[in-house]
Structure 1
Amino acid sequence: MLIVEDLLLLLLDDETGTPAKAGTLPYALGGAVLVELAMLGRIDVEGAGSVLSGPKVVAVGDGPLPDPLLQEAYDEVTRKPRTVQTLLLAIGGDLWKTVTDRLVERGELRRESKRVLGLFRTTQLPSAGTGHEARLRAAIRGALVDGTEPDTRTAAIIALLSGSGALPELRPQLAWSGEVYRRAKELEKGHWGASAVGTAVARTTAAIAAAGAAASAAVITTVTT
């Protein structure tokens, strides 16, 4: 499972398949792919950039990547150095259907067609209950509620969820408190502790989460004004 698949699985309501923070979903999914590329040592960030757009992302390394979705995203990065926020939308804009199809194929989601009011047909994507999502949630709960040190992958997922503003909206709901919020924000900022694979990955993830948070705020402001 890629990080982007885990992230979408967490964002989807287990009963209906409706995503939390649907309006900012492309930024979250694009960010998850960039984080995976960072963990594979295939991208880095340069400079500080602006608060809104973030630093520039550059491709590093060579050779084929282990998944066509990652390869396509990496090829997008190689076209030219661009800011994080620009790449979030370029990579994540059309990912919803691709990642959903992959989760259905993996048996993590079911695709169900239903009629509303006996007239309109709608498609829902409930969880298939394989246990994978439950393990993800347990790891997140351990880091945020119990205070255990997360591994790199869990820290990255929490950082992305926190940056997108989706953590308090997950269904089923995570036990939410001021302390949970504080711990999530620390991970969002790249403070991962000794478990991280390296400061470069944490730094890149923090830049991606920050750009995603700025983009999410901009989307919400546009919608409400």
Structure 2
Amino acid sequence: MTQQPEEPPVGGRSETPGEAKRLGPPTLAEDLLLLLFQPNSGLRSGTGTIAGENTLFYTLAGAVLADLGLGDHVRTGSGRAGTTRVEAVEDHPPSDDILRSAWDYLSAKPRGVQTVLAAIGPTLRGPLLDRLVERGDIRRGTRKAFGLFTTTVLEDGGSGRRPRLLEDVRAVLVEGVEPQPRVAALTALLSGSGTLPQFDREIPWTSPVISRAKALERGDWGAGAAAEAVARTVTATIVNNAIVAASVLPRT
């Protein structure tokens, strides 16, 4: 059963257009949301939707926590009844605003992973989508619905970043390339969202692909670099907990 937040939900705020140039490198959650964007899945050609909306706040929150783990901003430990708890690494906050908001929430005290996911997840979609628009990865457009109403639609921004991310994921799942921890986390979260079958054109939905994806969900990411071992273990634990939490929700 999913735990309820111990405090009101927290999350990053949207950047204004004047702040776009100050954005740092894309976060893992931005990469995940960009991959989940399906450019030609809308009612009209050239418009898109976000796949996996029903589990989105869990998977995006998992990506935020995973980013914190990769950056050594958080550590994990054991809680009651074998649960996993996350705590902020003191005096090591991230510079990114969205990651910092989650780190601030954790800096008050260690919390169960599911509690953190439920607290930070619901507010993430909007700010992350705004960032993708600011970066030019996604474009907001307008369309007439039934010839009467103007609606906002999402379109491919033409930056080319989504195909590059998808190729990284494909290399891991189809070609068996040993992933770097960040790509492993991204691939595991994408698989855990339940949306991989929708990528069948680029990533064939075969038994070997399914097996590899499930292994990544469990944290089997390969040997990797020794220096990354701790961050990899923390991140894999977080990702696995996020996937377990999302798995109890209905899929779309």
Q: Which amino acid aligns with 1:66?
A: S
Deviations 1:18-75 (A, max 9, x none): 1111011000110111000001101111116668xx4111111414422111111100
Decide which of 37, 51, 62 is 2:68's aligned counterpart. 37
Q: Which residue of 1 aligns with 2:108?
A: 79
Alignment TM-score, normalising by the size of structure 2:
0.80
Question: 1:179 aligns to what SS in structure 2?
Answer: helix
Q: Which residue of 1 aligns with 2:208?
A: 179
Question: 2:139 aligns to what SS in structure 1?
Answer: coil
Deviates more, 1:137-146 or 1:39-48: 39-48
Map 1:35-74; keep pairs closer than 5 Å. Answer: 35-47=66-78, 54-74=83-103
Structure 1 residue 107 displacement after superposition = 0.6
Shift in alpha-carbon separation, 1:141–1:48, aligned structure 2, 3 A: farther
Structure 1 residue 194 displacement after superposition = 2.7
**Structure having the larger proportion of residues in helix:** 1
CA root-mean-square deviation: 2.1
Structure of larger gyration radius: 2
Any stretches of 5+ residues in structure 1 without a counterpart? none
Deviations 1:167-210 (A, max 9, x none): 22348652111100111111222221232553333333333233
Please say if residues 55 and 84 of structure 1, whose CA atoms lie closer than 8 Å, have aligned partners that are also in contact: yes
Structure 1 residue 157 displacement after superposition = 0.3
Q: Percent identity?
A: 42
Please say if residues 191 and 217 of structure 2, whose CA atoms lie closer than 8 Å, have aligned partners that are also in contact: yes
Distance in 2 separating the partners of 1:214 and 1:130? 33
Shift in alpha-carbon separation, 1:154–1:50, aligned structure 2, 3 A: farther
The answer as to 2:36 corresponding to 1:5 is no
Please say if residues 159 and 187 of structure 1, whose CA atoms lie closer than 8 Å, have aligned partners that are also in contact: yes
Any stretches of 5+ residues in structure 2 without a counterpart? 1-25, 41-46
Structure 1 residue 99 displacement after superposition = 0.4
Deviates more, 1:56-65 or 1:87-96: 56-65
The answer as to 2:53 corresponding to 1:28 is no
The answer as to 2:249 corresponding to 1:219 is yes
Q: Which residue of 2 aligns with 1:121?
A: 150
The answer as to 2:137 corresponding to 1:112 is no
Distance in 2 separating the partners of 1:204 and 1:131? 31
